[in-house]
Structures are given as structure tokens and as C-alpha cells.
Chain A
Amino acid sequence: MAEWILYAIFGALALGGALGVVFLANPVHSALSLVVTLVSIAVLFLEQSAFFLSTVQIIVYTGAIVVLFLFVIMMLGVDRGDERETRMLSRASFRYGFLAAVAVLLVPILLVTGGWPTGAPGTDTKAAITAAGGNVQAIAQSLFTQYLLPFEVTSILVVAAIVGVIVLAKRPKGLRGAGVGRSDAPGDDDGGDDSDGDRDTDYSASSGADASGAGNASVSRDAAGSSEAEPVASASAPASSSAKPASSASGSAATASTDSEKVV
């Protein structure tokens, strides 16, 4: 009976947190609701005697992933004004989506009576896991013998992701100054003067003073929040260029060289 009580409490918490992720307007509140869901799911792992993964779930998800989310939210300064007006889709499509979700949810409810977890039971019973020394020892035994190759391939994946994130997070101007040929470097393949000038002001502002860069970004975001997709590019360019009129598109070569010197 205690298992049912735990299941009810933490299942309800998981559902509530998931609904909070979807329906809260502030991204910080969404991230904190995500923490509630992840911890509740960790408790449900614990209830099914997956002790190691319950711990890893809390450490990796709430300790790394959600903190990364919050870090990016704080760094980008995404606040409520980002999507206050156009947060949801239209009411009709929302209603149809909700009906489809409920319909898909009904399918396993109708199937419950069939005894549907099928397949031959494995050999990792509770007695076998206890004989192996516990949950952690059993997982380690399986991970480093049977699943050794996927484990090593995972390390390659992580290294590739780290290199990719470093390349993505570097300043593109610095990369171009260092002689790395990148097809998606800004200003290479589009001849738009407005967007080029916009990016130049952004980079010079962010490299010069962070406070003015943040104000610049918020100004252009407020200008873009109330308009549609197409006028956004044209609306954000005058806002930021009026905020910093000193650097124009004609001075892009000078700013590029100074940026490359700063980065390299």
C-alpha cells in the first residue's frame, strides 16, 4: 500500500510539473517545473528498484541539464516578454491537439486488460541481482562486458559534441580571422547590408560592454515581439542600429580585424 501512496504522490507531482513546463509563460518557471517532474520520475525509478539510475537521473538531469537550461536562460535574458503575445497556437488547433493527445492516451487504457508486457522474462531477477552484489554491481557487470562497445562509442559521441559546441559557441568573426573556412560564417554569403550592419553592432556591443549589449538585445526583442515573422528582420535592424549608430556596415572590416585579434 505504501507503494501506491508513493506512486500517487509522485505521479501527480510528475504530471503537475509536466503541465507546468508546458503552460507556464516564464521559461525560468518552466525549467523549475521540469525539476519537479525529473525528481518525481527519479522517485518512480527508485520504487522500481533502479537505484543507480535514480541517482544518475538526479545528478545528470537536475544537476547538469536543468542548470544548463537556466544558465542559457539567464545568459540570453529570455524573459516573459519574449512570447507573451504569441505563446500558443490558435485555439482551434490547440483543441484538436488536446483531443488527439487524449485519444492516444486512451489506447493503453483500453489495452490494460490484455496483460500486454509480453516477451520472455529475463534472468535478472531480484535474487540474481542480490547475488551479483546489488543494482550498481549488476549494471556495471552488464555495462562493461556485454555493452562495452556501445559504452566506448558513447565517449566518441561526447567528444564530438564537446568539439561541436565549442565551435558553435565561439565568435564567428574570430573563426574567420583565424582562417577557418566556414560556410555559415556571417557576412560571407549574404549581401544584405541591413543584416550585416545589425550583426556588426551586436558583436561590437557585446565585445565592448556587456550592459549595452543586453540593452540593445532587449530593445530589438521588444520591437520584434509584436510583429510577424517577416517584418522582424527589418524591424530589429533599425532599432539596434539606432541604439549604436557609430558602427556601420562600411566599418565591418575594421571591427572584424579587432575582433579576430581579441579572440585569437
Chain B
Amino acid sequence: MFFAITRPGADAYLLLAVAIFMIGALGFLVRKSALVMFMCVELMLNAVNLTLITFGAKLNDLSGQIFVFFILVVAAVEVMVGLGILIAIFRRRANTSVDNLSRMRG
């Protein structure tokens, strides 16, 4: 059923996207460096992008690609703001481990 067709169908790409999303989510939960947590968020965003492209190709709809375009813009903006916050945190604490960010009020 899986290898009967000559090219990978939507199932194969969606499974890969789920795997990448789960790896990203696992990394976001497990890692303690805020920088690497941002990278894991990027992994999850990319998995969702792959899902949108796959569904768009499966259903003959360009809206999936338009959505991916907007997600790319929002991801770039998110990384920009997130790294700015990280730099501001690093000025105060000299460490980006999220263990030291439990005291946010100040």
C-alpha cells in the first residue's frame, strides 16, 4: 500500500512532518538553553509548513503555499523579536538557561 505507487503520496510527507514536529516538541521540552529552544520552535514551524505544502499539493489548492509564505514571514519576525529579548536577558543575567528565568518579576 505504501510503496505500491511510483512516487511518495501525501501520507509519506505527513508522517515525516509529524516526526519532525515531535522531535521539535521534544527538544523544546528537554533543552534548557533558550537559543536551542528557539531552534526547536523553528523545527515545529517547518514541520507544519511541510504539512501545508503537502495538503495543498494533494488537494490542488494554492492556498497552502500562500499560508506557508505568511508563516515564513511570521517566523522571521518571531525569531527577530525572540533573539532581541534573549539579548536583553543576557545583558542582565549573563546566562540564557531557562532555569534562571523563573524569577521574571523585577
* A interface residues (Cβ-Cβ under 8 A, vs B): 1, 3-4, 7, 11, 14-15, 18-19, 21-22, 27, 30-31, 34, 37-38, 41, 44-45, 47-50, 52-53, 56-57, 60-61, 64-65, 68-69, 72-73, 75-76, 78, 82-83, 86-89, 94, 97-98, 101-102, 104-105, 108-109, 112-113, 117, 119-125, 129, 138-139, 142-143, 147, 150, 154, 157-158, 161-162, 164-165, 168-169, 172, 184, 186, 189-190, 199, 202-203, 206, 216-217, 220-221, 224-225, 228-229, 232-233, 236, 240
Q: A27-B33, A27-B36 are in contact. Are A53 and B7 (CB under 8 A)?
A: no
Query: Do the beta carbons of A69 and B8 come within 8 Å of each other?
Result: no
Which residues of chain A are near B15, meaning CB under 8 Å?
105, 108-109, 112
Q: What are some 6 contacts across the A-B interface (CB < 8 A)?
A: A41-B50, A45-B50, A82-B97, A86-B99, A105-B15, A124-B62
Question: What residues on B are CB-neighbors of A48 within 8 Å?
Answer: 13, 53-54, 57
Do B58 and A117 touch across chains, with their CB atoms under 8 A apart? Answer: yes
Chain B 24-38 interface mask (CB, 8 Å, partner A; 1/0) = 111101111101101
Point out the residues of chain B lying under 8 angstroms from A217, CB to CB: 94
Query: How far apart sit A28 and B85, CA to CA, in the bound complex (Å)?
Result: 19
Distance A61 CA – B79 CA, assembled complex (angstroms):
10
State whether A14 touches B22 (Cβ < 8 A): no
Given A139-B65, A229-B100, decide whether A101 and B26 contact each other with a Cβ distance below 8 A.
yes
Residues of A within 8 A of B43 (CB): 18, 21, 34, 37
Category for how many chain B residues contact A: 35 or more
User: Is A86 touching B97 in the complex (CB atoms < 8 A)?
Assistant: yes
Docked-complex contact A165 and B29, CB < 8 angstroms: no
7 extra interface residue pairs, beta carbon distance < 8 Å, beyond A157-B73, A164-B81, A224-B94 = A3-B8, A49-B57, A50-B53, A101-B23, A108-B14, A108-B15, A139-B65
Q: How far is the CB of B70 from chain A (nearest CB, A)?
A: 6
Q: Which residues of B lie under 8 Å from residue A220 when comparing CB positions?
A: 94-95
Q: Which of A34, A129, A143, A168 lies in contact with B66, CB distance below 8 A?
A: A143
A11, A56, A225, most chain B CB atoms within 10 A: A11
Specify which chain B residues have a CB less than 8 angstroms from the CB of A19 in the assembled complex: 23
**B87 x A161 contact (CB < 8 A):** no
B52-86: CB near A (< 8 Å → 1, else 0) gives 01111111111101101110111111011101111
> Which residue in B7, B36, B94 is a CB contact (below 8 Å) of A202?
B94
Are the C-beta atoms of A38 and B46 separated by less than 8 Å? yes
Cα–Cα, bound, A87→B50 (Å): 29
In the bound complex, CA of A216 to CA of B94 (Å): 9
- Partner of A236 from the list B61, B86, B94 (CB cut-off 8 Å) is B94
B80 engages A165 (CB within 8 Å): yes
B72 with A60: CB separation less than 8 A: yes
In the complex, residue of chain B having the shortest beta-carbon distance to the beta carbon of A8: B8
- Smallest CB gap from A42: residue in B: B46
Choice from A53, A83, A89, A122 contacting B33 with Cβ under 8 Å: A83
Check if A78 sits within 8 Å of B35, measured CB to CB: yes
